[in-house]
Amino acid sequence: MSDERLSVFKTYKLYVGGKFPRSESGRVYEVTDSKGKWLANAPLSSRKDARDAVVAARKAFGAWSGATAYNRGQVLYRVAEMLEGRRDQFTREVADAEGLSKSKAAAVVDATIDRWVWYAGWTDKIAQVVGGGNPVAGPFFNLSSPEPTGVVAVLAPQESSFLGLVSVLAPVIATGNTAVVVASERSPLPALSLAEVLATSDVPGGVVNVLSGRTAEIATPLASHQDVNAIDLAGADEELAKELEIAAADNLKRVLRPQPVDYAETPGIDRMTAFLETKTVWHPTGSLGASGSSY
Amino acid sequence: MPSTALTAAHPLKDVTTSDSALRRFLHGLPGVDAVGLEGRAASLGTRSIKTTAKAYAIDLAISMVDLTTLEGADTPGKVRALGAKAVHPDPTDRTTPATAAVCVYPDMVTAAKEAVAGSTVKVASVATAFPAGRAALDVKLADVRDAVAAGADEIDMVIDRGAFLAGRYLKVYDEITAVKEACGTSARLKVIFETGELSTYDNIRRASWLGMLAGADFIKTSTGKVAVNATPANTLLMLEAVRDFRAQTGIQVGVKPAGGIRTSKDAIKFLVLVNETVGEDWLDNHWFRFGASSLLNDLLMQRQKLATGRYSGPDYVTVD
Nearest residue of A to residue B308, measured between CA atoms: A224
pLDDT recorded at residue B4: 56
Which secondary-structure segment (H or E) carries A152? Answer: strand A151-155
At residue A163, what is the residue type? L
| Best CA proximity match to B116, nearest among B143, B154, B145 | B154
Which of A226, A275, A220, A233 has its CA nearest to residue A251?
Answer: A226
- Give the C-alpha separation, B2 to B14, whole Å: 22
The answer to whether B313 contacts A225, with C-beta atoms less than 8 Å apart, is yes
CA-CA distance, A187 to A180, in Å (whole number)?
Answer: 17
As a whole-number percent, the residues of chain B with pLDDT over 70 amount to 98
Residue B316: list chain A partners with CB under 8 A.
Answer: 226
Task: State yes or no: is B220 an active-site residue.
Answer: yes
Three-state DSSP class for residue B43: helix
Q: Look at residue B2 in the predicted model and tell me its pLDDT.
A: 46
pLDDT tens for each residue of B41-76: 999 999 999 999 999 999 999 999 999 999 999 999
Q: Do B315 and A58 touch (CB under 8 A)?
A: no
Q: What is the mean pLDDT of chain B?
A: 94
Alpha helices (runs of H) in B214-293, residue ranges in sequence order: 232-249, 264-277
Q: Do B315 and A221 touch (CB under 8 A)?
A: no
Catalytic residue among B153, B256, B266, B298, which?
A: B256
Per residue in A31-90, pLDDT (tens digit) is: 999 999 999 999 999 999 999 999 999 999 999 999 999 999 999 999 999 999 999 999
Contacts (Cβ under 8 Å, ≥6 apart) of A137: none
Q: Give the pLDDT confidence of B69-126 residue by residue, as tens digits.
A: 999 999 999 999 999 999 999 999 999 999 999 999 999 999 999 999 999 999 999 9
SS3 A44: coil
A87 alpha-carbon distance from chain centroid: 20
Higher pLDDT, B5 or B262: B262
- Identify whether the C-beta of residue B162 lies closer than 8 Å to the C-beta of residue B195: no
Output the CA torsion B76→B82→B87→B89 (10° steps): 160
Residue of B nearest to A50 (CA): B311
- Would you state the pLDDT for residue B216? 96
Q: Which residues of A touch B304 (CB under 8 A)?
A: 226
How much is the average pLDDT of A256-275?
Answer: 94
Helix or strand (DSSP H, E) at B220: strand B218-220
Alpha-carbon torsion (B295, B115, B80, B107), positive or negative: negative
**Structural domains present in chain B:** 11-308 (3.20.20.70)
Distances (CA, A) of B316 to B90, B228, B305: 9, 30, 11
Compute how many other C-beta atoms are within 10 angstroms of the C-beta atom of residue B50: 9
Active site includes B156? Answer: yes
Task: Please name which of A236, A240, A207 lies closest in space to residue A72, comparing C-alpha atoms.
Answer: A207
Q: Is A238 on the interface with B (CB under 8 A)?
A: no
Q: pLDDT per residue over B276-310, tens digit each?
A: 999 999 999 999 999 998 999 999 999 999 999 99
The distance of B303 to chain A (nearest Cα, Å) reads 14
CA of B311: which chain A residue's CA is closest? A225
Are the beta carbons of A226 and B313 separated by less than 8 Å? yes
Query: What is the pTM for the complete model shown?
Result: 0.90
Closest CA to A31 of A189, A179, A167, A150: A189
Judged by CB atoms closer than 8 Å, whether chains meet at A227 and B309 is answered as no
Question: What are the structural domains of chain A?
Answer: 28-284 (3.40.605.10)
Q: Under an 8 A CB cutoff, do B310 and A224 touch?
A: yes
Least confident of A3-7, B29-33, B163-167, B228-232: A3-7
Distance from the B252 Cα atom to the nearest Cα atom in chain A, whole angstroms: 40
Integer Cα distance of A20 and A10 in angstroms: 13
pLDDT band at B180 (very low <50, low <70, confident <90, very high): very high
Report the alpha-carbon distance of residue B288 to residue B278 in Å, rounded.
11
The residue from B90, B143, B153, B156 that is catalytic is B156
Q: Which of B140, B180, B220, B269 is catalytic?
A: B220
pLDDT tens per residue, range A112-124: 999 999 999 999 9
- Yes or no, beta carbons of B310 and A221 under 8 Å apart: yes
Taken as a whole, chain B contains a residue count of 320
ipTM field: 0.83
Mutation for testing the B interface, residue in A47, A59, A180, A227 having most B CBs under 10 Å = A227
Give the other-Cβ count within 10 Å of A81's Cβ. 13
